[in-house]
Amino acid sequence: MPLLEVREVSTFYGRICALDHVSLDVNEGEIVCLIGANGAGKTTLLNTISGVAPARHGEVLLNGAAITRTPAEKIVGQGISHVPERRQVFGSLTVMENLTLGAYSRFRRDGRASINNDIENVYLLFPVLKTRHKQLAGTLSGGEQQMLAVGRGLMARPKLMLLDEPSLGLAPLIVQEIFRILADLRRQGTTILLVEQNARAALRCADRGYVLENGRVVLSGAAAELSESELLQRAYLGKRNHRNRSG
Ligand SMILES: Nc1ncnc2c1ncn2[C@@H]1O[C@H](COP(=O)(O)OP(=O)(O)OP(=O)(O)O)[C@@H](O)[C@H]1O
Ligand SMILES: [Mg+2]
């Protein structure tokens, strides 16, 4: 059974149909990427899974159980951590306070010691955050804020992480760093559904991918196959690797 199943989901904003019968699944331990142009519905799909923009039709299942109409705050407790677009950290709180808040859904269950231990683990993954643990998050650089947003998502000990454009607006070296960390997370057993405009980098680190256009899945498959597909090469990867190029 897949960890996450999205079955024929349609999501609307008023009368606007943003997702049209979308189906997708994510198996435990996989990195699956979602590729698509601006406005294709990628963020909406993550918001539908995390309960922020619930589906009007269709079902979302986590470990076989429907969460389609579960409120967002309960979905976190069930093991889905959503790191939204544009690194929304709490700017007036410190790095450490942001990380602690990421664990709020497990405070009562796990207690302070276990949470402190997980903060140390986040610092191992992102050493730069440790050197800045008392700094206000709003004064971190863009890349540092992105790392903090991912770190905060990890603090909930999710079964599944939804990451919305973690590389957006970052310098190439930091982007590389983010993708290196995603690979580390996968090795540690975290399952990830990743939205990326940087299709090339996403397909390099993902196992499988789905391509969204106008709210519909138009293509899906193994990452290696998708990198070779005509449609992707034309629309999202540029023509650099085009095999049938003349001259
Ligand atoms: N709150 C909203 N109210 C009305 N329409 C919305 C809302 N949020 C998104 N939309 C519309 O739904 C469609 C899908 O938007 P979405 O944000 O999911 O796209 P996206 O693939 O994440 O794009 P981007 O790459 O630009 O982030 C767009 O046409 C957008 O204008
Ligand atoms: Mg988006």
Please write the tens of the pLDDT for every residue from 39-92. Answer: 999 999 999 999 999 999 999 999 999 999 999 989 988 999 999 987 789 999
Q: What is the pLDDT of residue 67?
A: 97
> pLDDT-based confidence at 231, cuts 50/70/90?
confident
Going by alpha carbons, the residue nearest to atom 12 of ligand 1 is: 18
- Note the pLDDT of residue 238: 66
Beta strands 65-66 and 80-83, pairing class: unpaired
Task: Give pTM, 2 decimals.
Answer: 0.91
Whose Cα sits closest to atom 9 in ligand 1? 44
CA of 167 to the centre of ligand 1 (A): 18
Q: Which pLDDT does position 235 carry in this prediction? A: 76
Residue 186 has pLDDT above 50, yes or no: yes
SS3 string, the chain, reads: CCCEEEEEEEEEECCEEEEEEEEEEECCCCEEEEEECCCCCHHHHHHHHCCCCCCCEEEEEECCEECCCCCHHHHHHCCEEEECCCCCCCCCCEHHHHHHHHCHHHHHHHHHHHHHHHHHHHHHHCHHHHHCCCCEHHHCCHHHHHHHHHHHHHCCCCCEEEEECCCCCCCHHHHHHHHHHHHHHHHCCCEEEEECCCHHHHHHHCCEEEEEECCEEEEEEEHHHHHHCHHHHHHCCCCCCCCCCCC
Ligand 1 pocket residue status of 166, Cβ below 6 Å: no
Q: How confident is the model at residue 245 (pLDDT cuts 50, 70, 90)?
A: very low
Fold entry, domain 1-71+204-247: Rossmann fold (3.40.50)
When pLDDT is cut at 50, 70 and 90, the band that residue 24 belongs to is: very high
**pLDDT score, position 234:** 78
Determine the pLDDT at residue 152. Answer: 92
Please give the pLDDT value at position 201.
85
Q: Kindly give the number of the ligand 1 atom that is closest to the alpha carbon of 44.
A: 18
Per-residue pLDDT, 242: 43
Is any atom of ligand 1 closer than 6 Å to the C-beta of 188?
A: no
Atom 18, ligand 1: residue with shortest CA distance: 41
Nearest partner of 150 among 163, 135, 134, 137, judged by Cα: 163
Task: Name the nearest CA neighbour of 73 among 48, 52, 87.
Answer: 52
Q: Residue 159 class from Cβ within 10 Å (0-12 exposed, 13-18 middle, 19+ buried)?
A: middle
Sheet of 57-62: strand order equals 16-26, 4-13, 57-62, 65-66
Strands 216-222 and 208-213: antiparallel
**Closest to 19 (Cα-Cα) out of 35, 37, 43, 2:** 43
Q: What is the pLDDT of residue 20?
A: 98
Sorting pLDDT into bands at 50, 70 and 90, what band is 236? confident
For ion ligand 2, residues whose CB falls within 5 Å: 42-43
The β-bridge partners of 217 are 212
What pLDDT sits at residue 244?
Answer: 44
3-class secondary structure for 48-66?
Answer: HHCCCCCCCEEEEEECCEE
Measured by CA distance, the residue closest to atom 3 of ligand 1 is 13
Q: In angstroms, what is the span from residue 99 Cα to ligand 1's centroid?
A: 28
Which one of the ligands is nearest to 15 CA?
Answer: 1
pLDDT in the model for residue 40: 94
pLDDT at 162 over 70: yes
Q: Tokens 């599944």 — which residue?
A: 160
pLDDT score recorded for residue 185: 86
Our answer on whether the CB atom of 38 is closer than 6 Å to any ligand 1 atom is yes
State in Å: Cα 236 to ligand 1 middle: 19
Instruction: Name the residue with higher pLDDT: 235 or 8.
Output: 8
Residue pLDDT, tens place only, 82-123: 999 877 899 999 999 999 999 988 878 888 888 999 999 999
Handedness of CA 1, 166, 85, 231 (dihedral sign): negative
pLDDT score at 239: 54
Q: Is the CB–ligand 1 distance for residue 15 below 6 Å? A: no
15, pLDDT greater than 90: yes
Average pLDDT, the chain: 90
d(CA 20, CA 41): 9
